[in-house]
Structure 1
Amino acid sequence: MLNKTRFLTALLLTAAPVMAHGAHAADITGAGSSFAAPIYQAWGDGAKSAIGVSLNYQSVGSSAGQNLVTARTVDFGASDAPMADSKLASSALYQFPTVIGGIVPIVNIPGVASNQLKLNGSVLADIYLGKISNWNDPKIVALNPGVSLPDTAIAPVHRADGSGTTFVFTSYLTKMSADWKDQVGAATSVQWAGGAGARGNDGVGSSVRATEGGIGYVEYAYARRNSIPTVQLQDKDGEFVSPDLGSFSAAAASADWDHASHFAVDLLNGAGKNVWPIVSATFVLVPTNPKDAARADAVYKFFDHSFRTGDATAQKLDYVALPESVKQKIEAGYPGKK
């Protein structure tokens, strides 16, 4: 009981800024994914002027987003890790995707330009397992003929908070490395072999920029906006692919939405030409039994407006918009809107 009390106390303390701010200055409140924060904030600017719905969104990480909406502290939660079917049912939540984006490794290696370094999934896993500790390790050199790699220690950076970005990244490593699958696995929080932790995509990006030899993983827009070097990754066919909107779109085009339970489609290491291997949808969770019908209706109006008018904004921020057929399925299943 004591541990449960401590958890609830911590949850409410985390939610306090959301609750206090939302009660006075926002029509709806959301919290969770830092991966999705840029698009929700941009959509919020558009919705306020167009339909009179104000959004207060807190970028607190996917795990917190799931916990806060489950506790009905916010009007919607946001998570890059889809919630399990059983938990959706027990928590009375409806889950749907909003946009698709790429997770990218970022590096700070003296003398190595953006997208000059080539890595594959097994080498990336070995770096985070601590098995590869220098940038001139033979396994990295073998993937990069002609690139001068320094004898610089690798400094891995990972998310310190419960993170959907971590879930996507570790899910990819689990697919690519048997050792990673056996020793670490995929989750929003894992037991890292070493390295430094930082909160949010912005925290990981800042840490890598400040650390010679650093490597981390962030949502692509954070890397691009902050001019942090990214890498090429080997795709399913053995070709090396650079991260950009085109390679993310190619991954999204191969998605099997028809057989995805609660829209939890698998976009990792997909087949096809120029397919970036670490791509994910990001998800929203809304109560099917909301405490306040008016606020729940405002949430619906917010996402309805954003889906109808926000594709260009998503593309500008380096996300891939959902196919129209998926938007129609979301609309058909939305609680109270059938």
Structure 2
Amino acid sequence: MNTRNSLLFPLVLLLSPLASLTAHADIQGSGSSAAAPLYQKWADAYSKNAGVTVTYQASGSSAGIKKIKENSVEFGASDAALSQADLKKDKLIQFPSAISGVVPVINLPGIKTAELRLTGEVLANIFSGEITSWNDTAITALNPGLRLPNKNIEVIVRQDGSGTTYNFSDYLGKVSKNWQAKYGRNFTIPWNSRLIQVKGSSNIASTIKKTAYAISYIDFNYVTQEKLDYTLLQNRDGKFIAPSAEAFSAALSNSSWKTDANFEEMLTDKPGQKTWPISMGTFIIMQQRARDAQQTTATMKFFTWAFMRGDRFVNSVDFVRLPDSLQARIFKEMTTVTDKNGNILNWNLSTDPGSKN
């Protein structure tokens, strides 16, 4: 246990009753395909020592929200936070698990990664179909010296309900009045029928690799692990920025997440010279009143272990861990979960074999 965990561990014990269930229960989660590599890494590592099987279905953020509202899984995962009104209505809690970013990616022969520069407005015009050629003057003006081909832009988009699309469309709506008026922000967008529509982040990655002159949007962890070419993107301060952990953290630092734990606040289009303009959080959603006390207790132990001992897995799949202050707020939120009779659940890690990992 490192210094940070040695400070957080007593906090968990203080916030949680000291009793612990002796039996373990399997845990099922569903939702964000973007965050699937993170949850699957955590699940594999935890399951080896904890005597608990954690399974995660990468079904998309919309499906994950639907399943947790139906109470058919122990946790849902979404790349967009639910509003406080929705949480209250459906008796749910939510907390972020990590931060990342949405990245424009290209397959443009002759152009290397991080060579092409785009602005948010140009990006919006490409995905709305107003800019259709790679040598359009709006693109060439941003890229003097680059030999851009006189080829149609093949636009690849998400067909399924996606938190990635939610964050991407939120950003485009902030930088383009036309986009906001026509499409707004949503998990699904009524794309033009001529665009290439696929389901899931993995299919986005595979499709762009085999489609010349294409552009799409995908989460940063897929960019690095699939070795996709990405563009630079102009941020709110006018700087052309590459996606990185530092750039995502800069967006978080310029939000009210740290000061007010306002997780509903989008991390898109934040100020700061080093800020990546399409940064985002990824979230866990759980029932406030447990369907099954044993399974819910096991789920909270899993995520407590993930925050306290799973940092190395966050970095290994190219997400960014949350600051200590946010993690402490999350632990406090988790202690509000009750059984079906309204009694606060008893849980801690003191006897959990998963804590060895």
TM-score normalised over the length of structure 2: 0.85
- Counterpart-to-counterpart distance in 2, 1:330 and 1:260: 9
* CA shift digits 1:149-176 (9 cap, x unpaired): 0111101111110000000000000001
- Counterpart-to-counterpart distance in 2, 1:158 and 1:331: 36
> Secondary structure at 1:143's aligned position in 2?
coil
Q: Which residue matches 1:11?
A: none
- Counterpart-to-counterpart distance in 2, 1:238 and 1:288: 42
> Secondary structure at 1:204's aligned position in 2?
helix
Task: Name the larger-Rg structure.
Answer: 2
Q: Which residue matches 2:191?
A: 192
RMSD: 1.4
Q: Which residue matches 2:134?
A: 135
> Structure 2: which amino acid aligns with 1:285?
I
Q: Which residue matches 1:235?
A: 235
8 A Cα contact 1:31 1:60, kept in partner = yes
Q: Which residue matches 1:71?
A: 70
Q: Which residue matches 2:321?
A: 321
Q: Which residue matches 2:50?
A: 51
8 A Cα contact 1:247 1:274, kept in partner = yes
* CA shift digits 1:298-338 (9 cap, x unpaired): 10000000000111211121111111111111111212369
* CA shift digits 1:217-258 (9 cap, x unpaired): 111111111111000000111110011222222222222113
Q: Which residue matches 1:183?
A: 182
- Counterpart-to-counterpart distance in 1, 2:146 and 2:237: 23
Q: Which residue matches 1:151?
A: 150
8 A Cα contact 1:265 1:281, kept in partner = no
- Counterpart-to-counterpart distance in 1, 2:102 and 2:165: 9
* CA shift digits 1:104-162 (9 cap, x unpaired): 01101110001110001000000011110010000000000111101111011111100
Q: Which residue matches 1:312?
A: 312
- Counterpart-to-counterpart distance in 1, 2:237 and 2:82: 30
> Secondary structure at 1:216's aligned position in 2?
strand
Q: Which residue matches 1:92?
A: 91
> Which runs of structure 1 show a deviation greater than 6 angstroms over 4 or more consecutive aligned residues?
none
Query: What aligned pairs does 1:28-39 form with structure 2 within 5 A after superposition?
Result: 28-39=27-38
8 A Cα contact 2:107 2:214, kept in partner = yes
**Identity, % of aligned positions:** 38
- Counterpart-to-counterpart distance in 1, 2:230 and 2:29: 30
Answer with 76-85 or 277-286: which moved more.
Answer: 76-85
> Paired residues, what number?
312
- Counterpart-to-counterpart distance in 1, 2:316 and 2:274: 20
- Counterpart-to-counterpart distance in 2, 1:133 and 1:213: 11
Q: Which residue matches 1:289?
A: 289
8 A Cα contact 1:31 1:77, kept in partner = yes
- Counterpart-to-counterpart distance in 2, 1:107 and 1:276: 18
* CA shift digits 1:246-292 (9 cap, x unpaired): 2222222222113454x223211111122111110001111011111
- Counterpart-to-counterpart distance in 1, 2:234 and 2:217: 16
Select the structure with the greater relative contact order (CA < 8 A; seq sep ≥ 6): 2
Gap runs ≥5 in structure 2: 1-24, 338-343, 347-357
- Counterpart-to-counterpart distance in 1, 2:281 and 2:303: 15
TM-score normalised over the length of structure 1: 0.89
Gap runs ≥5 in structure 1: 1-25
> Secondary structure at 1:321's aligned position in 2?
coil
> Structure 2: which amino acid aligns with 1:324?
D
State the 1:190 CA deviation. 1.3
Q: Which residue matches 2:21?
A: none
> Secondary structure at 2:251's aligned position in 1?
helix
Query: What aligned pairs does 1:226-265 form with structure 2 within 5 A after superposition?
Result: 226-257=226-257, 258-261=259-262, 263-265=263-265
- Counterpart-to-counterpart distance in 1, 2:295 and 2:106: 43
> Secondary structure at 1:320's aligned position in 2?
coil
8 A Cα contact 1:79 1:164, kept in partner = yes
* CA shift digits 1:53-85 (9 cap, x unpaired): 221100000000000110011111000111122
- Counterpart-to-counterpart distance in 1, 2:78 and 2:121: 26
Q: Which residue matches 1:120?
A: 119
> Secondary structure at 2:308's aligned position in 1?
helix
- Counterpart-to-counterpart distance in 2, 1:284 and 1:48: 19
- Counterpart-to-counterpart distance in 1, 2:180 and 2:299: 38
The verdict on how the C-alpha distance between 1:330 and 1:337 changes in structure 2, with shifts beyond 3 A counting, is: farther
- Counterpart-to-counterpart distance in 1, 2:158 and 2:266: 22
* CA shift digits 1:7-28 (9 cap, x unpaired): xxxxxxxxxxxxxxxxxxx810
> Secondary structure at 2:104's aligned position in 1?
strand
